[in-house]
Amino acid sequence: MQSSNFDVLSKVKDPEKLRSRCDNYVEKGLTSNPTVKFLIQRLISMGCIPPKDFIRCKECTKEAGGGFGVVEETVLVESKEAKKRASLEQCQRSLEDLRNQIQDEKDGKSKLTIKPEIYLCQQHIQSEDHAHTSMVHELIHAVDMCRAKMDPLNNCIHMACTEIRAQNLSGECAPWKEFIGGQIKNFPNHGKTCVKRRALLSVKENPNCRDRANDYVEAAFERCYKDTFPFDRHPSVR
C-alpha cells in the first residue's frame, strides 16, 4: 500500500538533510494541515490511537513516496531467508521478499500480520505538498484498517477498495497534478481514470492479487469510489 508521486527526484543526496527535511514536513502536516489533523482525530475517536512515531521518515530502497503497514512475520520454521527479512525495514524489503513471506505462510512456515505504521520515503518526497498528500493517502489506509477487519494481504477486494479510496480522497488525482503529469486525456472523467490507474498499480504490488488485479479493482470500484468516509463529502468539495 504505497503512494507514488516521484516523477522528479530530489537533488538533495545527503541522508541527514533528507531526513531533516522530511521530518519537518511531517511535523508541519501533523500541526498545520487540516486534512491530516482531521484524520488523526478521527482515528483517535474511533479508538485507534496512533502510537508515538506512527508516521516516520525512512530511507527506502523502493521507489515510492511512502507506504502503510509493516508486514510482521512470526517465524514457525527458521530459515536464513526469514532471518534476513527480519533485519530489514519494511521500506527496504523487495517484492521478492513479500512473495517469499506469503509463500512461507502458505507452507505453514510463518504467520503474517500487518502492524499499522506509516512511512515516508525521504529521498523521494518532493515538497511539503507531496509529503502531506502522501500522509493523507496512508492515513486513509489507517482509517480503513481501524473501521473494518481488513486483510489487504490475502483479500484482494479489500486491498483494491482501500487503494481506490486512498487515491481518490488524498488529492493525488487532482486535475492540476494530472495535467502536469500529462495524464489528462478525457477531462470530464479524469478523476475516475486516474484513481483506477493508480489503484491498479498498487494492487499489482501484492503477489496474491497481481494476476487478477484489474478484476479486483473493477469489482470494488463504484462502491469504494463513492465511499468518502470519514469525510462527509470529498475533501476537494467545499
Residues classed as catalytic: 138
Can you tell me whether residue 123 is helix, strand or coil?
coil
Beta strands (DSSP E) in the chain are 2-3, 55-58, 66-75, 110-121
Q: Which one-letter DSSP state was computed for residue 51?
A: P
Can you tell me whether residue 174 is helix, strand or coil?
coil
Q: What is the Cα–Cα distance from 55 to 191, expressed in whole angstroms?
A: 27
Number of Cβ within 10 Å of residue 83's Cβ equals: 10
Taking Cα atoms as reference points, which of 113, 110, 107 lies closest to residue 90?
113
Q: What is the Cα–Cα distance from 89 to 203, expressed in whole angstroms?
A: 21
Grid coordinates representing 138 are 496512508
Bond preceding residue 230 cis, omega within 30 of 0: yes
